[in-house]
Chains A and B, each alone.
Chain A
Amino acid sequence: MTDVKYTIKDFKSENEVRWCAGCGDFAIINAIQRTMAGMGIPKEKFAVISGIGCSSRFPYYMNTFGFHTIHGRAAAIASGVKAANPDLSVWVMSGDGDSMAIGGNHFIHLIRRNIDVNMVVFNNRIYGLTKGQYSPTSDRGFVSKTSPFGTVEDPFVPGQLVLGARGSFYARSIDGNLKLSQSVFEKAAEHKGTSVVEVLQNCVIFNNGIHTAITDPNHRADRQLMLEHGKPMIFGAENEKGLVFDNGKLKVVKIGENGVTEADILVHDATEVDPTLHLALINMALPDFPVAFGVIRAVPAPVYDTEMEAQIKEVQQTRKVTCVDELLNSGNTWEVTGNPNGSSKKCI
């Protein structure tokens, strides 16, 4: 690793940050800048790519190479960046609409290919930049400017999509929890392959408080399960609750009741290839369950960009054609001689 020392300031650009006062994005950019400063990678090797939406203004505020592209396509553009130069640390900043509505196809195919980029999905369950229409993560019945009588459609659960697309890394964080965000961003950066981090983000203007039931400090301990690889799935103000697997389903139990001991509680294994338990953790929702945070899944899998490079190297080891001149003259060719005045085909 290169010996470079940065502070958060090195990653702030000259541009004035223009998110609304109180926007959850401020905390997220802070966590990203802290993460990058601590990665020991030269600053010029970061490329931050975004699509369209509030979150997608992100690259302008980062003092790295940045590309603010078009709606939904950041995942496809980042795929090209990383495939062209696997040496870069490529970050995609996207929102729930950008990644799961207009960019849904690129999102799932990025994950399926397992290209080594880090994708942060700012999930505020609303379209903010267009001023308050429901998004693909808005709940059924959600009332917005374009659903005055409530939506009649079910939302995507981002983690389900990631697993459905054979994702190798999925983590969940909350905008206000800087420490948690930084920790999962670091783990996302370490992971080889597509790392998707969903951040529950608060849109202070158009969907204020959408995540409050989860983030409310008075109930946080009961409503959030902080997962750590190798640690038991325990939560609650007194660490008195835990999860067990019962009859093929997760179940909340109280330690000390009905003979349950800490030894009965499930231990989180983010590296388990079988996605069954990871899916169950992703699906946990209030009020029956706490919401799971942290790295839910991080499994090793072949990485597209390194496989592509390896394949080229392998083919080149036994290649017969080493340059274009050789290519043009390969296969069936013939000589024409004895026509010193023969015509070219250009004119008549």
Chain B
Amino acid sequence: MKETKVIELEEVAIRFSGDSGDGMQLTGTLFSDTTALLGNDISTFPDYPSEIRAPQGTVGGVSGFQVQFGQKQVNTPGDNANVLVAMNPAAIKANARFLEPGGTIIYDSDSFTEKNLKKANFATDDPFAECNLEDYFKIPVPISSLTQEGLKDFGLDNKSVLRSKNMFALGLVCWMFNRPLDYVEEFIKNKFKKKPVVVDSNIKVLHDGYNYGLTMQHMTPSYLVNPAEIENGTYRNINGNHATAWGLLAAAEKSGLELFLGSYPITPATDILTALSQRKDLGVKTFQAEDEIAGICSAIGASFAGDLAVTTTSGPGLALKGEAIGLAVMAELPLVIVNVQRGGPSTGLPTKTEQSDLMQALYGRNGESPVVVLAASTPSDCFHYAYMSAKIALERMVPVILLTDGFLGNGSEPWKIPSMADMPSITPRVAKDSEEFQAYKRDAATLAREWAIPGMAGFEHRIGGLEKNITGTVSHDPENHQVNSEIREEKVQRVVDLVPELEICGDEDGGDVLVVSWGGTFGHTASTVREMRMAGKNVSLAHFNYIKPLPKNTKEVFSKFKKIIVCELNLGQFVAYLRNELPEFNYYQANKVKGLPFTVSELKESITKLLED
């Protein structure tokens, strides 16, 4: 027997792919968690259809989960996969273009029947040739029949048996990448603790997959990816939606307020509602509203009543909340609005990522209606920016929109767990002196008003959506409206005191090209700039998390570079905003609206072109 070929790699990307009912998201998540626990840096990308169960075996129903892990810093899930696990022919067709040249394809040979090839619209019986995958290393494994064989004594019906075939694939991949099975076993035991037969059958199949790799090692290579050299500390794996939920919890604890979430389920933001609804132990009140409008309105009510109030949504929901955001602007109540962006317009691409709600966040309301806008840049830093959104809202009495996106929300990475003691303080502007109190009397420095909460004796007052004077009384006075409109804008601009300066990653004294990005594209722009700099190119990066107001030194940073290219997953919204705010610069653009993240290679191409021009 031939010895196993052990390949040592710095980083590797694996894509698990199958029918949306095949359990690929779970398989990918379990593999990622196992890998993160071993100390690799990881980045994940779930890519799934919006139908819960699209017709079985069709390309439209393919659900994928890509994870890249490495022994260095990993900022992206990888442009292309080194290894594809395909549970059916449709998965081959859907993923052929996401494969790294020379990559490995593991596939369930039992599912490559005439019927399934037809469902996936293959014209011949050689799907690999049709997809130009002849040169790839292919490992056919009869996953379905081996699963059936392994479970024949369990007394399960065929449908239940085949439900476990993802565990066979997972076991096999764990062997290939030298991952232990104990984490997965614990997960299965916990998840199905009330159904011992399900626990036993899944663990059996998992081991069968692992052992298959071990015994068939003449045909499968094994990979070694050493742990990453990352900062010392305690780590966990976290996705963006969980990090957002936990950042809000942290802000509530720090500020001494109760957390209230009013929300209506919407892809891909629902997981924040789910995560917070599980936290009754920490006193969170979650209100699943009858619609998006009631989601934000209940939050505004809770804010009026003294809670740290939040509403979460995605693009179409943000549109529905527009009028109520205006009310929060006018009433000057603290409120956090989280928008997990997805492909639009209208229903668009619900499960795909995009950055096309920036204009909506900045301007999508009637009247002069300024709000603070922040954007998180990695799954784990959603925690920090959710926390900062709450801090700004509470200290400045202003609504804050936090933009994340489907890529961040569902993607995960290892996260060095912070300590609450190290988090910045949050001091809500609760009114203290009822003699002095006026509803719209402002702090001279920040222009923030005070927060007087029902139940506080002597502070009874009225607020509302009508223009008002300093006491909160309705005012139609023309001068008053002009002054108040300017104050509301200026109040948002003064939040700049809380905004850290824009950092230049690269040449701090300036150079040829500055790559500008914002929000969820950080992993891809940072990887691009890092790789180009390693290749000797004069490229730097300025990545924005604070959109409105912009960091104080933005102009100074921009002026140090010969060329500026703004990269974003829309047709040019941030660049339009920059042209408006800082018209003295010439901006180049790299835009993409495919519902997918950038790839490092396409960004390199755009930037290289700019360097050469």
Interface positions of A (Cβ within 8 A of B): 13-15, 42-47, 49, 59-60, 62-70, 73, 76-85, 87-88, 105-106, 109, 308, 311-312, 315-316, 319-325, 327-329, 331-348
**B285 pairs with A63, CB closer than 8 A:** no
Q: Are B324 and A70 in contact (CB under 8 A)?
A: yes
Q: Are B300 and A69 in contact (CB under 8 A)?
A: yes
In the assembly, what is the distance between CA of A88 and CA of B457, in Å?
12
Given A67-B331, A83-B298, A342-B232, the answer on whether A105 and B464 have CB atoms closer than 8 Å is: no
CB distance B234 to A333 under 8 Å? yes
Q: Are B327 and A65 in contact (CB under 8 A)?
A: no
Is there contact, CB below 8 Å, between B473 and A83? no
A78 and B301 within 8 A (CB):
yes
Interchain CB contact under 8 A, B229 and A84: no
Cβ of B103 < 8 Å from any Cβ of A? no
Interface size class of B (residues with CB under 8 A): 35 or more
CA distance A15 to B463 in the complex (A): 13
Contact for A348 among B233, B307, B459, B526, CB less than 8 A: B526
Stretch at the interface among B120-128, B171-179, B287-295: B287-295
* Contacting pair B280 A80 (CB below 8 A): no
* B530 and A348 form a contact (CB under 8 A): yes
- Cα distance, A329 to B462, chains bound together (Å): 43
Does B6 belong to the interface (CB within 8 Å)?
no
Q: Mark B289-325, 1 if CB is under 8 A from A, else 0.
A: 1110110011111111111010000000000000110
Q: Which residues of B contact A341 (CB under 8 A)?
A: 229
Which residue of A65, A79, A340 has the most chain B CB atoms within 10 A of its CB atom? A65
Picked from A70, A321, A344, A348, the residue with its CB within 8 Å of the CB of B416 is A344
Given known contacts A78-B301, A80-B262, A329-B234, A324 and B505 CB-to-CB distance under 8 angstroms: no
In the complex, which of the residues B326, B380, B455, B530 has the most CB atoms of chain A within 10 Å of its own CB atom? B455
Given contacts A13-B462, A324-B250, contact A105 B237 (CB under 8 A): no
**Once the chains are docked, how many angstroms separate the CA of A105 from the CA of B292?**
11
Closest CB in chain A relative to B38 CB, distance in Å = 8
From A79, A87, A335, give the contact of B294 (CB < 8 A): A79
Contact A311 B280 (CB under 8 A): yes
- Among B90-98, B159-167, B200-208, B417-425, which stretch is in contact with chain A? B417-425
Contact of B454 among A65, A68, A79, A106 (CB under 8 A): A65
A328-B250, A347-B526 known; 16 new pairs, CB 8 Å cut-off, are A42-B457, A46-B454, A60-B474, A69-B327, A70-B465, A76-B289, A77-B301, A77-B304, A79-B297, A81-B301, A83-B285, A84-B285, A106-B290, A328-B418, A336-B234, A347-B505
- Closest Cβ neighbor of B183 among chain A residues: A332
A178 to chain B, nearest CB (A): 24
CA distance A22 to B506 in the complex (A): 73
Q: Select from chain A the residue with minimum beta-carbon distance to B231.
A: A342
| A329 partner residues in chain B, CB cutoff 8 A | 234, 236, 417
Given known A-B contacts A69-B327, A109-B294, A327-B246, A345 and B73 have beta carbons under 8 A apart: yes
Q: How far, in whole Å, are A325 and B262 apart by their CA atoms in the complex?
A: 24
Contact of A312 among B231, B283, B304 (CB under 8 A): B283
State whether the Cβ of B529 lies closer than 8 Å to any Cβ in chain A: yes
B249 at the interface (CB under 8 A from A): yes
B residues in contact with A13, CB < 8 Å: 462
Q: Which of B249, B283, B413, B458 contacts A316 (CB 8 A)?
A: B283
Output the nearest chain B residue to A309 by Cβ-Cβ distance.
B285
- Cβ contact of B253, chosen from A324, A338, A343, cutoff 8 A: A324
Say which residue of B36, B73, B227, B285 sits within 8 Å of A343 (CB atoms): B73
Q: What A residues does B526 contact at CB under 8 A?
A: 347-348
Smallest CB-CB separation from A62: which chain B residue?
Answer: B462
Within 8 Å CB of A322, what residues of B? Answer: 281-282
**Which listed residue, B283, B293, B503, touches A76 by the CB 8 Å rule?**
B293
What's the nearest-Cβ distance from chain A to residue B75, in Å?
7
Q: List 7 A-B contacts (CB under 8 A).
A: A44-B457, A73-B294, A80-B309, A84-B258, A320-B281, A332-B37, A348-B530
> Given A80-B300, A345-B75, do A44 and B285 touch, yes or no (CB 8 Å)?
no
A347 and B462 form a contact (CB under 8 A): no
Nearest residue (CB) in A for B34 is A332
Residues of B within 8 A of A73 (CB): 293-294, 297, 324
* Residue on A nearest B281 in the bound complex, by CB: A319
When A and B form their complex, what is the total count of cross-chain residue pairs whose Cβ atoms lie within 8 Å?
243
CB distance from B507 to the nearest CB of A (A): 12
Which residues of chain A come closer than 8 Å to B285, judged between CB atoms? 83-84, 308, 312
Give chain B's interface residues, CB within 8 Å of chain A. 33, 36-37, 39, 73, 75, 183, 227, 229-237, 246, 249-250, 253, 258, 260, 262, 279-283, 285, 287, 289-291, 293-294, 297-307, 309, 323-324, 326-327, 331, 378, 380, 413, 416-420, 454-466, 473-474, 503, 505-506, 526, 529-530, 533, 541
CB atoms of B462 and A67 under 8 A apart: yes
Known: A81-B305, A105-B291. A316 touches B281 (CB 8 A): yes
Q: Is the beta-carbon distance between A337 and B232 smaller than 8 angstroms? A: yes
B294 touches A327 (CB 8 A): no
Is there contact, CB below 8 Å, between A47 and B454? yes
Contact: B229 with A59, CB < 8 Å?
Answer: no
By the criterion CB–CB under 8 Å, are B461 and A65 in contact?
Answer: yes
| Chain A residue contacts of B378, Cβ below 8 A | 345
Q: Which of A14, A88, A328, A344 contacts B417 (CB 8 A)?
A: A328
Q: How far is the CA of A43 from the CA of B461 in the complex (A)?
A: 11
Min Cβ gap A174→B in Å is 27
A339 in contact with B232 given A67-B304, A68-B465, A316-B280 (CB within 8 Å) = yes
Who on chain B is nearest to A346 by CB?
B503
Shortest beta-carbon distance from B489 to chain A in Å:
21
Bound form: Cα–Cα A240–B261 in Å: 56
Q: Which residues of B contact A80 (CB under 8 A)?
A: 260, 262, 287, 297-305, 309
Q: In whole angstroms, what is the CA distance A106 to B474 when docked?
A: 26
Q: In the bound complex, do residue B281 and residue A321 qualify as a contact, i.e. CB atoms below 8 Å apart?
A: yes
The complex places the Cα of A85 from the Cα of B304 at a distance, in Å, of: 10
Please pick, from B290, B306, B463, the residue contacting A67 in the complex, using a CB distance under 8 A. B463
Residues of A within 8 A of B530 (CB): 348
* Those 5 A-B pairs whose CB atoms lie nearest each other, nearest first: A80-B301, A68-B464, A80-B298, A76-B297, A319-B281
Contact A63 B234 (CB under 8 A): no
Say whether B298 contacts A343, CB under 8 Å. no
Contacts of B418 in A (CB 8 A): 328
Our pick among B233, B280, B301 for the contact of A79 (Cβ within 8 Å) is: B301
**With contacts A109-B290, A338-B232 known, is A69 near B183, CB below 8 A?**
no
How many angstroms between the C-alpha atoms of A66 and B473 in the bound complex? Answer: 11
Q: Which residues of B contact A68 (CB under 8 A)?
A: 462-466
Contacts of A84 in B (CB 8 A): 258, 260, 285, 301-302, 305-307, 309
A65→B39 CA distance, assembly (Å) = 54
